[in-house]
Amino acid sequence: MKRIVTYGLLAATGGLFAAVAIGTSALNAQDAPFGDPDSISYAETLWSEMEEARLVGDNSIKVRPFEGNEPHGTIQEVLATIATVDDHTGRLVVKRNHASDNIDAVYDDPTGNLAAITIMFEREEGYDPENRNWFWAKYLPDGTLDTNPNGMQLAGRVAKGMDAGCIACHSARGGDDLEVLTSR
């Protein structure tokens, strides 16, 4: 396992990374494109690497928060970098989603106002070609994976084929945000 190397940070504007609303579905965990044991394990490895690189956790890199939009929170912080996980290098976008509506309060106490962390990691070719091979996850501030209303952990191809959720929202934007992120 290799460490994440941070090449740069990106302070995004509210519209670039659109959503992580998770729709409900009758899918069982074994049928879903997310929340499976491999995705959960990968998300746990990714969290450890992000923590070591100070992208998440109590010692995380401090960046200037900005006004965002739902479902990510009214105040957000975004870091974009290149990461290596399990011998694969890809782009990583980390969005810290805050429950506060006060930018200065979030800047002064970023972990105290943190509601969730949503990420996109560009996986290897063939992982999910129709969605440009992005791996999605939604973590709680302590690094545990959040769950949808059906109790499925939000890691993998989150909400693929559903009317709402990570992939549905980003695809509804024409996929332009995904294309920009994957172009090198």
User: Nearest-CA neighbor of 89 among 177, 178, 7?
Assistant: 7
Give the residue carrying structure tokens 């491999």: 38
Distance, C-alpha 136 to centroid of its chain: 5
Residue-wise DSSP of 118-151: EEEEE--TTSSGGGTTEEEEEE-TTSPBPB-TT-
Residue 180 has pLDDT above 80, yes or no: no
Domain ranges within the chain, ordered by starting residue = 37-182
The better pLDDT of the pair 144, 68 is held by 144
CA atoms within 13 A on the CB side of 57: 11
Residue 7 has pLDDT above 60, yes or no: no
The better pLDDT of the pair 169, 172 is held by 169
CB 140 within 8 A of CB 116: yes
Question: In this predicted model, what pLDDT tens digit does every residue of 18-49 receive, in sequence order?
Answer: 333 333 334 444 457 889 999 999 999 999 99
- pLDDT at residue 101, as a whole number: 86
Question: In this predicted model, what pLDDT tens digit does every residue of 56-111 receive, in sequence order?
Answer: 998 899 899 998 877 777 899 999 999 999 899 999 999 999 988 899 999 888 88
Assigned token pair, 59: 């010692």
Give the residue carrying structure tokens 């959503």: 19
Q: What is the pTM of this model?
A: 0.78
Question: Model confidence at 5, in pLDDT bands (50, 70, 90)?
Answer: very low
CB 139 within 8 A of CB 130: no
CB 77 within 8 A of CB 56: no
- pLDDT at residue 118, as a whole number: 95
The better pLDDT of the pair 183, 166 is held by 166
Question: In this predicted model, what pLDDT tens digit does every residue of 118-134 receive, in sequence order?
Answer: 999 999 999 999 889 99
